[in-house]
Amino acid sequence: MKNGFLISSVLIVLAAFQAAAQGPEVLIPAPAEVTMNEGSYKFEEDPQITFVSRPQGDMPEESYILSVNARKGVTIIYSDASGQYYALRTLDQMTAGGTIRELPCCEIYDYPRFPYRGLHVDVSRHFRSIDFLKKQIDAMAMFKMNRMHIHLTDAAGWRMQIDAYPLLTGLAAWRPERLWKDWWAGERRYVPEGTPEAYGGYYTKEQMRGLVDYAAQRHIEIIPEIEMPGHSEEVIAAYPHLGCAGEAYRQGEFCIGNEDVFRFVETVLDEVMEVFPSEYVHIGGDEADKRHWKTCRKCQQRMKEEGLKDVDELQSYMIRRISRYVESKGRKIIGWDEILDGGLAEDATVMSWRGTEGGIAAMKMGHDVIMPPGRYCYLDHTQDAPFKEPESIGGYLPLDTVYVYEPLEPSMPLDKKHHLLGLQANLWSEYIPDDEHAEYMYWPRAMAVAETGWSQPENKDLMDFRRRAVMASDRMRSLGYNVFDLENEYGERKLSRMPAEHKAKGCKVLYNKPIQKQYPASGETTFTDGIMGGWTYSDGKWQGFLTDIDVTIDLGSVMPVHYVGGTFMQLKGPGVFMPEKVEIHISSGGVTFTPLAEVWNDVSTEIPDLLFRSFDTVCDVRTRYVRFCARRSTMRGFLFLDEIIVN
C-alpha cells in the first residue's frame, strides 16, 4: 500500500482499434477535464502503465484519471473496473491502437454524465448475426457506451429459443419473404422452420449467453426486450389461444383476460432472465390495438373483476402485474412511454420515444427515465439527402441534429433530474435488411449519442465533434466498419437553407380548419414565415394535416399577383401523400371568392421514394385575399405543406 492506494504495474499490449491521433484532442466522447503539461512521453515498444485503485467512494462510478508524464510514463487511477476499462479505451484512442509511440504530457480526469448510454438493435424485422452484434459491441466499447437493448420479439419474427414454447422458434421465427416490406404488404404469414427459402432465424440460449459474456468483458450490459401486450402477432400465430379470438392471424395483442397469457409471459420471462443477468428487462408496451379488448368476453370480465374503467387501465393491469413478477425475481422493467396510459407500475422505468413529454411526466411522478426521442435518436431515418442514401423508413436525421439534443430540458424539475438515467440511439430495421446497411446507419451518429451520454454539456462543441467524428470514422473503416462518409455530406435540402422572399411573407393566415396538433410547425405563421421545409416532415417547418387544408392569406391590401403555389411532400412508408388536388381562390373583400386555378395531382401513390411537388398557378390578377385549399387523396394519409408563395 502507498498513500492509501493499491498499486500494480503491468505491461499492456494495446488493441489495434481506435482513432488516429496522439493527444486528448481526438477523444470521443470528450473527457470531463484535461490539463496539458510540458513535454511528452515516448515509448519504444509497449508503454509501462501503473494502475492505482482508489478506495470506493473517493471517485464517481466509471471514472478514471489518466496521467502521462515524461519520466514516469502512464498512470491510471480508477474508481472501479469500468473506470479502469474506460481509461484504457481512452489510451487506445490517443495511441491509435498502439501505432503512435509518443504522447503529450497531460492529465485527464474523466467520468460519465449519465449512467445509461445505450444502443438499440432490432433483430425481429431483420435477423442479425452474432458476429454483427459482437462487432457493434466492440464499437460501443470504443465510445464508452454501456447498454445494448436487443428487440428480440415482434410481429416480424421471434428471435430467442424458449424451451417451454418450441413453436416460437419452430414457426414464429420464419416467414416466406426476406424483406419486411414485402411480408408486411402480403399476407403476413409464418412458415415452419426448414421450409425451403424461408427467411428468419433465432438465437440459442448458448449463443445469447456467449454474447452476454462478450459484452460484459467490455462493460456493456445487454437488455432483452420481449414485447407485450401488442406487437405479438407471431406469438398468437404459434399459440392462437393467447389471443382474444382464439385464432391465428386475427390480432396482434394478447388477451389480458386469459390466465394462460400470464402463464406464458411469466414462463418466457423466467427463461429470458435465466440467460440475461441484466438489471432491467424491457417489456415493450407500445402501440397496442386495444379495440379487441372492448368486445372480448374474457377481457371485459377481467375489467369488471378488477374495477378497470377502460382498456387503457386494462393494459396497465397487465404491465403492473408483470412488473411485480419481474421484481419478485430481483429485476426491474422498462417500457415504452405508452405504459403511462392507464397508470404506471410503481417501479417501472419509462423509455420515452414519442418525444420527451412522456419521460418528463414520468420523472415528475418519481420514475426513472431513458430518453430516445424519435426526433433526435431514431437512426432509421436517413442521415443525408434521401436521393443519395439507401432506402429507409423516411425522415431526415443528420449527425448535427443528433448531437445538439440536450436530454435535460428546462421543463424538467431540478429536484427530479436524478431520475433521468440517460439516452439511447434506436435503429428499427423495417427497411434495413442487411448487417452492413445497419452498421452504416449507426455510425457515426451513434458517436454523437455516446458523447451526449458521457460528456458534460459545457464540453460539447459541434464543429469540434465533427472533426473528431471524421477521424474516428476513418479509423473504423480501417477496422472493417461500413461508416457513413461525413466528409462528403450533401446536407439539408437547399431550398430550406435560405429564407423565401415573397409578397405573402409575414402576412396573416386564417385557418378554416384546425391545425393538426401532432405537427403544428410554427402554428398560424407557418405558411408565411419565409421558411421552406427540409428533407423530413418532422423538422418543425412542415405543417401536417389529417384533414383537407383550407387557409386564407390576407395580403393587407389589393395588389397585383402573378403566382400562387405551395409545395407538398410524399413518402409512402409513413403514409405521407400528395393532395388529390389544390384549389386556389381570390377575393378583394374577403367575403366572395372567385376560383383562380385547380391543380390536380399527377404523382403515383405507389412510388416509395421521397418526392416534392409544387401545386401552383401563373396568373395576372389583382387581389387582397388568397384562399388555398388542398383536398386529401383517397389514401387518407397525412398532407404536409411548408410555405405558400405569393408573388
Q: Hey, how many other C-beta atoms are within 10 angstroms of the C-beta on 318?
A: 23
79: containing domain: 6-110
Q: What CA–CA distance (Å, rounded) separates 269 from 263?
A: 10
* pLDDT band at 260; cut points 50, 70, 90: very high
Using the 3D structure, point to which of 485, 509, 530 is the last residue of a domain.
Answer: 485
* pLDDT band at 1; cut points 50, 70, 90: very low
Q: What CA–CA distance (Å, rounded) separates 113 from 116?
A: 9
Instruction: Give the CATH number, domain containing residue 370.
Output: 3.20.20.80
Beta carbons of 72 and 97 less than 8 angstroms apart = no
Query: So what's the pLDDT on residue 14?
Result: 40
Whether residues 410 and 263 share a domain: the answer is yes
Helix residue spans in 228-356 (DSSP H): 233-238, 259-275, 291-295, 297-306, 311-328
Residue 63 carries which side chain, given as an amino acid letter?
S
Three-state secondary-structure class, residue 253: coil
Would you give the DSSP letter of residue 528?
G
Q: Give the bridge partners for 510, in sequence order.
A: 552
Q: What is the DSSP string of 12-48?
A: ----S-S-S-SSGGG-SSPPSEEEEEEEEEE-SSSPE
- Whether residue 530 lies inside any domain: the answer is yes
Residues 161-220 pLDDT 10s: 999 999 999 999 999 999 999 999 999 999 999 999 999 999 999 999 999 999 999 999
Would you give the DSSP letter of residue 534?
-
Is 231 part of the annotated catalytic residue set?
yes
* pLDDT band at 518; cut points 50, 70, 90: confident
Query: So what's the pLDDT on residue 369?
Result: 98
Q: What CA–CA distance (Å, rounded) separates 543 from 537?
A: 8
Residue among 247, 234, 229 at smallest CA distance from 202: 234
Summarize the confidence of residues 52-64 as an average pLDDT.
Answer: 90
Residue where the block lists cell 417501472: 348
Whether residues 511 and 466 share a domain: the answer is no
Three-state secondary-structure class, residue 611: strand
Query: So what's the pLDDT on residue 514?
Result: 86
Whether residues 98 and 199 share a domain: the answer is no
pTM over cut 0.95: no
- Whether residue 143 lies inside any domain: the answer is yes
Whether residues 55 and 202 share a domain: the answer is no
For residue 390, say if its preceding peptide bond is cis, omega within 30 degrees of 0: no
Predicted confidence (pLDDT) at residue 18 exceeds the cutoff of 70: no
Instruction: Give the CATH number, domain containing residue 85.
Output: 3.30.379.10
Predicted confidence (pLDDT) at residue 32 exceeds the cutoff of 90: yes
- Whether residue 44 lies inside any domain: the answer is yes
Residues 6+ apart with CB under 8 A from 226: 152, 153, 265, 268, 269, 272, 281, 282, 283, 284
Whether residues 106 and 124 share a domain: the answer is no
- Whether residue 610 lies inside any domain: the answer is yes
Residues 402-443 pLDDT 10s: 999 999 999 898 999 999 999 999 999 999 999 999 999 999
Q: What CA–CA distance (Å, rounded) separates 566 from 617?
A: 10
Residues 6+ apart with CB under 8 A from 470: 486, 487
- Whether residue 526 lies inside any domain: the answer is yes
* pLDDT band at 635; cut points 50, 70, 90: confident
Residues 321-354 pLDDT 10s: 999 999 999 999 999 999 999 999 889 999 999 9
Whether residues 238 and 346 share a domain: the answer is yes
Whether residues 607 and 512 share a domain: the answer is yes
Q: What CA–CA distance (Å, rounded) separates 500 from 532?
A: 7
Query: So what's the pLDDT on residue 10?
Result: 42
Residues 6+ apart with CB under 8 A from 418: none
Within its chain, how far is the Cα of 560 from the centroid? Answer: 48
* Helices H / strands E in the chain, number of each: 16, 25
* pLDDT band at 11; cut points 50, 70, 90: very low
Q: What CA–CA distance (Å, rounded) separates 151 from 120?
A: 7
Whether residues 397 and 503 share a domain: the answer is no
Residues 279-305 pLDDT 10s: 999 999 999 999 999 999 999 999 999
Whether residues 426 and 523 share a domain: the answer is no
Q: What CA–CA distance (Å, rounded) separates 73 from 95?
A: 14
Percent of the chain's residues with pLDDT above 70: 96
Q: Give the bridge partners for 457, in sequence order.
A: none
Q: What CA–CA distance (Å, rounded) separates 64 from 32?
A: 10
Whether residues 212 and 241 share a domain: the answer is yes
Please state the length of the chain: 647
Query: So what's the pLDDT on residue 200?
Result: 98
Predicted confidence (pLDDT) at residue 49 exceeds the cutoff of 70: yes
* pLDDT band at 20; cut points 50, 70, 90: very low
From 231, 381, 419, 502, active-site residue = 231
Within its chain, how far is the Cα of 202 from the centroid? Answer: 23
Name the grid cell of 137.
459491441
* pLDDT band at 633; cut points 50, 70, 90: confident
Residue 564 carries which side chain, given as an amino acid letter?
V
Residues 301-317 pLDDT 10s: 999 999 999 999 999 99
Residue where the block lists cell 423508413: 393
- Whether residue 639 lies inside any domain: the answer is yes
Q: Hey, how many other C-beta atoms are within 10 angstroms of the C-beta on 270?
A: 13
Residues 6+ apart with CB under 8 A from 30: 451, 454, 455, 459, 460, 461, 464, 465, 468
Instruction: Give the CATH number, domain containing residue 564.
Output: 2.60.120.260
- Whether residue 356 lies inside any domain: the answer is yes
Residues 575-613 pLDDT 10s: 999 999 999 999 999 999 999 999 999 999 999 889 999
- Whether residue 1 lies inside any domain: the answer is no
Give the count of domains, the chain: 3
Would you give the DSSP letter of residue 122?
E
Residues 6+ apart with CB under 8 A from 259: none
Using the 3D structure, point to which of 453, 485, 517 is the last residue of a domain.
Answer: 485
Query: So what's the pLDDT on residue 634?
Result: 78
Residue where the block lists cell 418526392: 611
Beta carbons of 57 and 11 less than 8 angstroms apart = no
Is 154 part of the annotated catalytic residue set?
yes
Whether residues 401 and 450 share a domain: the answer is yes
Residues 6+ apart with CB under 8 A from 28: 19, 93, 143, 447, 450, 451, 465, 468, 469, 472
Query: So what's the pLDDT on residue 3?
Result: 36
Is 562 part of the annotated catalytic residue set?
no
Summarize the confidence of residues 248-256 as an average pLDDT.
Answer: 97
Query: So what's the pLDDT on residue 22?
Result: 67
Using the 3D structure, point to which of 110, 130, 159 is the last residue of a domain.
Answer: 110
Name the grid cell of 267.
414462463
Whether residues 478 and 503 share a domain: the answer is no
DSSP H/E element including 558: strand 549-570
Query: So what's the pLDDT on residue 520?
Result: 95
Residue among 569, 557, 629 at smallest CA distance from 596: 629
Would you give the DSSP letter of residue 139?
H
* pLDDT band at 43; cut points 50, 70, 90: confident
Average pLDDT over the chain reads 94
From 287, 346, 436, 609, active-site residue = 287
From 154, 233, 430, 539, active-site residue = 154
Predicted confidence (pLDDT) at residue 455 exceeds the cutoff of 60: yes
Q: What CA–CA distance (Å, rounded) separates 494 from 130?
A: 41
In angstroms, the first-to-last Cα distance of the chain is: 81
Residues 82-126 pLDDT 10s: 999 999 999 999 999 888 989 999 999 999 999 999 999 999 999
Query: So what's the pLDDT on residue 48?
Result: 83
* pLDDT band at 2; cut points 50, 70, 90: very low
Residue where the block lists cell 492509501: 4
Within its chain, how far is the Cα of 570 from the centroid? Answer: 22
Predicted confidence (pLDDT) at residue 44 exceeds the cutoff of 80: no
Q: What CA–CA distance (Å, rounded) separates 59 from 61?
A: 7
Summarize the confidence of residues 124-131 as an average pLDDT.
Answer: 98
